[in-house]
Structures are given as structure tokens and as C-alpha cells.
Amino acid sequence: MTLHTARLSIHDICKRYEAANVVDWVSMDIQAGQVVGLIGENGAGKSSLLNILTGVVRPDSGEMRLDGHLYNPRDCADAARKGISRVFQEQALIPNLRVYENLLLSHEARFTRFGQIIEQRRMIEFAQDIADQAGLMIDVRRPTSEYSFSKRQLIEIVRACVIPVRVLGIAQPVILLDEPTASLDRADEETFFKLVAAMRDTASFIFVSHRLSEVLTVSDSIIVMKDGHVVAKLAADDADEKRLHGLMVGRERQADYYHESLQAVAGPRFALQARALGGHGYVGIDLDLHEGEIFGIGGLLDSGKSELGKGLVGVTPPTSGKVCLYEGPWRNPDMRNSLASGVGYIPAERLAEGIILDFPMSWNMSISSGDLFSTRAGIWKDRHEREIAERMIGELNVRGATPSGACGKLSGGNQQKVVLARWLCRSVRILVLDNPTRGVDAGAKEEIYTIMRQLTAQGVAIVLITDELLELIGMSNRIAIMQRGRITALVDAPPTSKPTEVEMVKLMLPTGNVNREERAA
């Protein structure tokens, strides 16, 4: 049995949220000293799996064993004590502390006399030794914020890799690396790969990355996830990028589901044009959106596509560039003007930005339409609001909703319909949708697609920003792919010749060399 030899073994792990299985019957064994590459497109369940392994999220069912013993971490710290540590995508260092303080954070007790008096010199020497051995080339006494973003990421990686062995005294820790190289410059990247190579005998790694070439180079074996389950486990020697692309995608796209036959032909008029738009996370964006068109925007999580959506509408106004609505004047987008010109926006983070759960359905619907639901003197038209809310509930089939019922009781899909109603109750002509079907069950998804098709038939123009490849391909007339804040590809997607998922994934993933040079520059 592998159970006796595997360092970490997980068996039939499931995690379900509301509408979808994010982790679905996942099993895998990690041997001591093994580097396992974990790949999959956005939302395949990689991060959720790491969250389960580090105790951030509890699985609904399944079993995890560490050296054959049951392993149920309470939280990240508990997981680290037991030997599983993780490097986060976001920086988790405290910038105003010195490097050594960050490296040994939460382990100060080992460097104290009487439990309180910190022996600073011993800490510094110890931390400097760790840094030198890892090839960091830094002075650990300097404040962390003095080092570059890339260097700080590397410090974090070193902390996750070395502390378990050197401080906690764990033999063979399992280290989870979530996109570790995404923000490393070339020199630091080399240091990183050397570190992994040097630690092979003393640790195991799970390496999550979108850079397939790196995964292929560094891993012993590769696990491919899709829609929450493991679709392939293969030895790195048996794999190449092309094969991995195919494994990551390869779902059956049903033309009916996306009502592709109803895909409207884009009208001649421009609904929205943007030139040289730049802001936090995106730069130099030019785009032309036609009436009746669905313009898809795809890209990895850090591609800047969500930020662009906010910029187009003016939720977060861009810092440079101009937008023109319906061939009118060019201006910097702002939310007031967008509302007045018939532009609507649905954010990706429904609970944080889209809907107030304590509020009645009608309030959530009317929140953007003070102009329609109150008189010039500012008196609210309650009856009018209720009537429109009732009509919207009927038209959009918002199940379980009444105008005065709180939205918290509705399912994700029906909540999203309420957010849609916010824009459909005014005569909206342009809609920017950021992941409109996230956390929405299959039935409601299809209803939302139907509504989108109906809207485009009436000439409404839609920008569809989405992490779901099939939705992107199935719904869009044209697709823009973003990488690192720029549109790097523009693909036509007429119903007769839709691009394939593999083509899309290839366009989204960074192609090693080009990117490296860009970052080095």
C-alpha cells in the first residue's frame, strides 16, 4: 500500500459551495522528496485544494493522512506545525519589520531568555545564515520594505521552505507553492529553482503554476485538475505542453447551452470605444464595442481584466485615456455619467460589491436608480418601486423572491438575477458583466445567458469578463485576451467557427521568454 510510504496522502476529498463542487473526489499521494506540479485553468480547484491542505477550509468529506496518521489541520499555523507550509500569492510579509523579524515571525519564543527578552543578535545570526544558505544575497537587518517586490516574494518562499526544517525541526516538510514565480524577476527565479533543487532530499513540494514549461522542468510528476477533479496524473517525462493544454480543458461545449444560434450580429454603431485606457492593473487599452455585440475578455487572474471592467464604467476611474459612449464626446469615465448614459455594471464579488443581503429585493434593485424611483424633490416612490420589483421578479423568474423579502434568503443565482434587475429596470444600453455566473447554479446560468441574448437582440452591447472558458467562447462575438494588463490577442468568435479552449488557454498563459524579458526590462 502506498499509505505507508507516502508523506502526504489525501483520499476522496470533496468540498462543495452552494452551486458547485469546487473540489470533487480528489485523491493524491505525495512521496517524500517529490515535486508535484499542479495545473489547471482558473477555477479548476487548485487554490481550494491548497486551502484544504492548510486548514483554511475544511473539506465536506474525505480523509487526509500525513505519514499514515490522520491529518486535520485547524488553521495555517497548525498545518505548519504539522509540517505543511504554504507560500501565498499575495505578499504576507510585514513591510515595516526588518527581514529577520519577518523570517522568524511567530518563532521569537525560541530566541528569548525568560520567555520575553529577545536575544536579537542570535536571531539576526540565525536569519542571516538561513538567507545566505538559500542564496538570498540580502542583509537581514534591513527593513523589508527596502527590498524589491521580487526579493520580498523570494524572502517569503525561503521562509516557507526553510523555517519548518531549521526552526520547527520537521523532517521532510511538504511545501505548497502557489504561483511562486509570478512576481519573481529572472535572477530571483534562478535562486528559487536552485533552492528547490537543493531541498529535494529534505522536503516535498506541490508546485502550482500557469507556466507549463517551468512545471515540466521542475516537477517529478504532474497532476491536472479541471472543474474540481483530478483529470490526469502523469510523470513529467511523459508530458509536454501541448498534451497538458489538452488535459486542462477538453470539456464538451454545448452550443445550445450558450444559445449560440441566437448570437446577434453586431450593429454598425459603436456603443463604447476606449483609447489608451490605463489604470491600476491595466495599460494602453484600445477597444471598440458595437451595438448588439458581446465582447468577451479573458485572461488569468492577474491579467487586469476585472480592473479594466471597473475602469470602463468608472467605478474606479482610469488614470489615463478616454472613453466615448455612442459616438458622443470623449471623456474620462465616471460612474455618474455612465449611469446617465445607460451603462450598467455587475461586479465579480457579488457579496462584497453587488448586493446587500439584509436588504429587500426591491431596495437592491432600485439602488442605482434614484432618478427613476424618487421625485425631483427627493421623495421615494414606494409604490412604483414595488410594482417594478414585482414585474422584474416575474420577468427574470427570481425564484423565492418578493419585493420586500431580504435577498439573503435567495440562492446565488437568484441573487444575481436581482443584481441584473438593477440594470434592466432602467433602459440600459451597455452592460459590463464581470463573471456574471460565478457561484450560480446551472439552471440559473442558462437563464442568465438567455437574458443576455435577449438584450443583445435589442441592441444592448455587453462586455463579458469571465474566468469560465466555455462561457467566454460560447457567448462572445469577439474575444480579447489580456496578459499583464494588456490586450495581447483579439479573436473572432462567430457561431460557425468558435475558437477552441486549447487555443484560448495558449493565448492566456505566459509564453516564458517574452514575459521574462518584459519583466527584466
Partner 1 sequence: MNTSDVRSDDDAVRPRTSPIDRISASLRTGMWLPVGVVVLLFAFFSIATPSFFSVRNATGILGQASTLLLACLGSSFVVLMGSIDLSVGAIVLLVGSATVIALNLADLGALALVFAILLGTGLGAINGTIFAFGRIPSFVVTLGTLSVFTGAAWQLLEGRALRFDSSVFESLAIGQLIPKVPNIALFALVAWAIMAWVGARTRFGRYMYAIGGGEAVARTAGLPVRRYQIYAFALSGAMAGLAGALATARLGAAGPTLGQDLLLNTLAAIVVGGTSLAGGVGGVHRTLVGVLIIALLDNGLNLMGVNQYTQMVVKGAVVVLAVLISQDRGRQLIIK
Please choose, from the candidates 440, 444, 10, 395, the residue with its C-alpha nearest in 3D space to the C-alpha of residue 230: 10
Residue 91's identity, in one-letter code, is: Q
All cell numbers assigned to 24: 470533487
Q: Supply the minimum distance, in Å, between the C-beta of residue 335 and partner 1.
A: 4
Nearer to partner 1, 242 or 384 (CB): 384
Q: Supply the minimum distance, in Å, between the C-beta of residue 415 and partner 1.
A: 9
Burial of 422 (C-beta count, 10 Å sphere; 0-12/13-18/19+): buried
Confirm if 332 and 317 have CB atoms less than 8 A apart.
yes
Nearer to partner 1, 311 or 412 (CB): 412
Please choose, from the candidates 318, 303, 306, 309, the residue with its C-alpha nearest in 3D space to the C-alpha of residue 484: 303
Nearer to partner 1, 80 or 339 (CB): 339
Q: Supply the minimum distance, in Å, between the C-beta of residue 432 and partner 1.
A: 11
Nearer to partner 1, 234 or 406 (CB): 406
Rounded to the nearest angstrom, the gap between the alpha carbon of residue 88 and the centroid of all alpha carbons in its chain is: 13
Nearer to partner 1, 169 or 378 (CB): 378
Q: For cell 443583445, name the residue.
A: 456
Nearer to partner 1, 241 or 441 (CB): 441
Report helix, strand or coil for 224: strand
Burial 190-224 (b: 16+ CB within 10 A, else e): ebbbebbeebeebbbbbbbbbbbebbbebbbbbbb
Q: Supply the minimum distance, in Å, between the C-beta of residue 380 and partner 1.
A: 5
All cell numbers assigned to 432: 459590463
Name the region of 188 (left: φ>0; alpha: ψ -120 to 50; beta: rest).
alpha
**What is d(CA 475, CA 442) in angstroms, rounded to the nearest whole number?**
15
Please choose, from the candidates 477, 41, 480, 497, the residue with its C-alpha nearest in 3D space to the C-alpha of residue 249: 41
Nearer to partner 1, 74 or 409 (CB): 409
Residue 264's identity, in one-letter code, is: A
Indicate the Cα dihedral angle 358, 359, 361, 364, nearest 10°.
-120
Q: Supply the minimum distance, in Å, between the C-beta of residue 367 and partner 1.
A: 5
Nearer to partner 1, 150 or 366 (CB): 366
Q: Supply the minimum distance, in Å, between the C-beta of residue 460 and partner 1.
A: 18
Q: Supply the minimum distance, in Å, between the C-beta of residue 129 and partner 1.
A: 41
Q: Supply the minimum distance, in Å, between the C-beta of residue 263 and partner 1.
A: 28
Q: How far apart are the first and last CA of the chain?
A: 51
Nearer to partner 1, 88 or 359 (CB): 359
Interacting residue ranges for partner 1, rule: CB under 8 A: 18, 315, 335-336, 338-339, 345, 347, 352-356, 358-359, 363, 366-368, 370, 373-374, 378-380, 382, 397, 399-400, 409-412, 414, 422
All cell numbers assigned to 12: 476522496
Q: Supply the minimum distance, in Å, between the C-beta of residue 276 and partner 1.
A: 25
> Other C-beta atoms within 10 Å of 326: how many?
16
